[in-house]
Amino acid sequence: MGTKKSGALLRQASKLIPGGVNSPVRAFKAVGSNPIFIKKALGSKIIDADDNSYIDYVGSWGPMIVGHANPKVSNALKKAIDRGTSYGAPTESEIELARMVVDAIPSMEMVRFVSSGTEATMSAIRLARAHTGRDRILKFEGCYHGHADSLLVKAGSGAATLGTPSSPGVPKSLAKETYNAIYNDLNSVEKIFKKDPKGISCIIVEGIPGNMGVVPPAKGFMKGLKGICKKYGALLVVDEVMSGFRLCYGGAHQTYDIQPDLICLGKVIGGGLPVGAFGGSRAIMSQLSPTGPVYQAGTLSGNPIAMTAGIETLKILGKKGQYEKLFKKTGKLASGIEEIAKRRSVECHVVVRGSMFTLFFTPEPPQNFDEVCKGDLKKFAKYFRRMLSHGIYIAPSAFEASFMSLAHTNEDITKTLEAIDKSFTRL
C-alpha cells in the first residue's frame, strides 16, 4: 500500500503549516508514522491521495455518525449553499436545530451555538463563573475540554493541588485557577472542595471520556459529582462535545439519570461541519449577552450551512431503531476483537459505550488516566501501523476513542476483524 503522494504532500505542508498539520494528533507522531492525506470519503470509507481505501473508525473524530457524504445530508447542504454560505444574521435554521437539541435534552432549556467544542467549554465556564461569582474550576486528569487556557493544565504533585500549565503560553496565574482531580475518585473531589469550599465555580467532566480512550464513569460517580456541586454551591458542567448523541438521542448524562447545570455539545450536532453549543436552564442561560451581562459572540456562530448539516443528521438519528443498529454493530466488532485476542493470547481489553469504543493494551480495563498510561504504547503503535497497512483507519493514538457509524456494514466489520487477526499475529 503505497503512500508516495501523501509523503509529498506532507513535505509541502510542513513548509507552510507547523508539523504539516492543523491539529497535532493528525501528525501520527505517537505511532511512529507519517500521516496519510485524505482526498475524499463516502459512507464508511476514506480514500487517500494515493487512492488507497480505508474502512474509517475515526469518523472525523466522532461527528460522522451517519457516514461520510450521506446523501440526505449532502443534498440538503447543496441546496443551502445555493442560498448563501454565511449571513452574520439570524436564520430560521438556528431555531430548528435549537428546538431539536432542546427537545432531545430535557435539562437544556436554552442553547447558544458556537463554532467549536473549545468555544463551547470556554463559554460555559465563563458563564459558570459569572453565575456563582467564583473564579476557580475543577477538572479531571484525562478529560480533555479543548485548548482554552483555563483547561490546558496538568495536575500538580497531588490530587488536591492547583494546576500548572501543560503548554507554554498559558499564564501560571490563570492555570492556578484550575484544580485537577482523579477521574472516578469522588474522594479526590471532596478533598479539593473541603480545601476551597467557596472558591470553585464548577466541576467540568466529559459525559464519556474519549481523549484518554473510552473510560466510563464508575457506578455512582456522576451522581456523586452532582451531589458535591449541590453541597458546595458549584455548577456541574458536562462536556458532551464527543459523547453527545453517541450513547442515545441526547446526552450521555441522561443514561446516568442526572441533570447537569450546563451541557456542552459539538461534533454530531454539526454533521461534520464546525459546530459547538452550550446550554442549560433558562435562568442560567439568560445571563448571556444580549439578555444578560456575560459576553459571548462569534461571527460564524449558527452558520446556516453548519445548522443544515446538524438538522439533517439529527433527523436521521431520530428515526426508530437507529441506535439499536449502531450498538449492534459496535458490539459485534468488540466481541470479535475479544475472541481474536483470546485466541492469539494478546493482553488487551475493548471498552464500549454506545457507539464509542477503545482497544486498550492493558492488563485490566482502565478506570482513570494513570491506568490508561500504563498501557503498552509500543504495542499499540505497531498495531496501528499494521491495521493501516490492511486498510483499516483507526485513531493514531492510544489515548483516543474509535467510532461506529450507521454506514458501516457487516462486510466492513468482517474485513476489520480479519485485519485484526493478522495484526495480532506476533504482536
Q: How far apart are CA 124 and CA 183, in angstroms?
A: 20
For residue 2, what pLDDT is reported?
87
Q: How confident is the model at residue 154 (pLDDT cuts 50, 70, 90)?
A: low
Of residues 68 and 169, more confidence is placed in: 68
Give the mean pLDDT of 159-182: 72
Q: Where are the domains of the chain?
A: 4-69+321-423, 72-317
Q: Where does the pLDDT of residue 166 fall: very low under 50, low under 70, confident under 90, or very high at 90 and above?
A: low
The reported pLDDT for the residue numbered 161 is 37
So what's the pLDDT on residue 233? 98
Q: Has residue 344 got a pLDDT over 50?
A: yes
Residue 383, burial from CB neighbour count under 10 angstroms (0-12, 13-18, 19+): buried
pTM listed for this prediction: 0.95
Active site residue 135: no
pLDDT tens-place string over residues 263-315: 999 999 999 999 999 999 999 999 999 999 999 999 999 999 999 999 999 99
Strand partners, 250: none
pLDDT at 167 over 80: no
Closest among 197, 147, 204, 150 to 181, alpha carbons compared: 204
- Write down the pLDDT at residue 181: 95
Q: Using alpha carbons, select from 19, 32, 31, 389 the residue that is nearest to residue 10.
A: 19
> If pLDDT is split at 50, 70 and 90, which confidence band does 159 have?
very low
pLDDT category of residue 186 using cuts at 50, 70 and 90: very high
The yes-or-no answer to whether 4-69+321-423 and 72-317 have a common fold is no
Query: Could you please report the per-residue DSSP string of 160-218?
Result: TSBPEESSTTS-HHHHTTEEEE-TT-HHHHHHHHHHSTTTEEEEEEESS--BTB--PPP
Catalytic site residue 239? yes
Report the pLDDT averaged over residues 337-343. 96
The rounded distance, in Å, linking the Cα atoms of 122 and 150 is: 8
Closest alpha carbon to 396 in 26, 6, 20, 52: 26
Indicate the pLDDT class of residue 174, thresholds 50, 70 and 90.
confident
The per-residue pLDDT for range 353-380, each reduced to its tens digit, is 999 999 999 999 999 999 999 999 999 9
Mean pLDDT estimate for the chain: 94
- Domain 4-69+321-423, what fold? Aspartate Aminotransferase, domain 1 (3.90.1150)
- Region 210-232: mean pLDDT is 97
Of the chain, the percentage scoring pLDDT greater than 70 comes to 97
Q: Are strands 276-280 and 110-114 parallel, antiparallel or unpaired?
A: antiparallel
CATH of 72-317, one of 1.10.150.120, 3.40.640.10, 3.40.1280.10, 3.30.499.10: 3.40.640.10
Which position among 48, 239, 261, 412 bears the catalytic label? Answer: 239
**According to the model, what pLDDT value does residue 193 have?**
98
Burial level of 404, CB count in 10 A (0-12/13-18/19+)? buried
Q: Which of 57, 144, 232, 393 is catalytic?
A: 144
pLDDT at 162 exceeding the cut of 70: no
R_g (Cα) of the chain, nearest Å: 21
Per the listing, cell 450521555 goes with 252
Please tell me the predicted confidence (pLDDT) of residue 155.
37
From 45, 139, 267, 329, the catalytic residue: 267
pLDDT in tens, 61-80: 999 999 999 999 999 999 99
Among this protein's residues, is 144 annotated catalytic? yes
* Percent of the chain's residues with pLDDT above 90: 90
Q: What is the pLDDT of residue 164?
A: 54
- Confidence band, pLDDT 50/70/90 cuts, at residue 126: very high
For 317-329, give one letter per residue: b (16+ CB within 10 A) or e: beeeeebeebbeb
Res 163: pLDDT = 47
Contact in structure between 409 and 325 (CB atoms under 8 Å):
no
CA angle 417, 370, 61 (to 5 degrees): 45
pLDDT at 295: 96
CB of 200 closer than 8 Å to CB of 192 = yes
The amino acid that residue 166 corresponds to is S
Q: Does an H or E element contain 306, and which?
A: helix 304-317
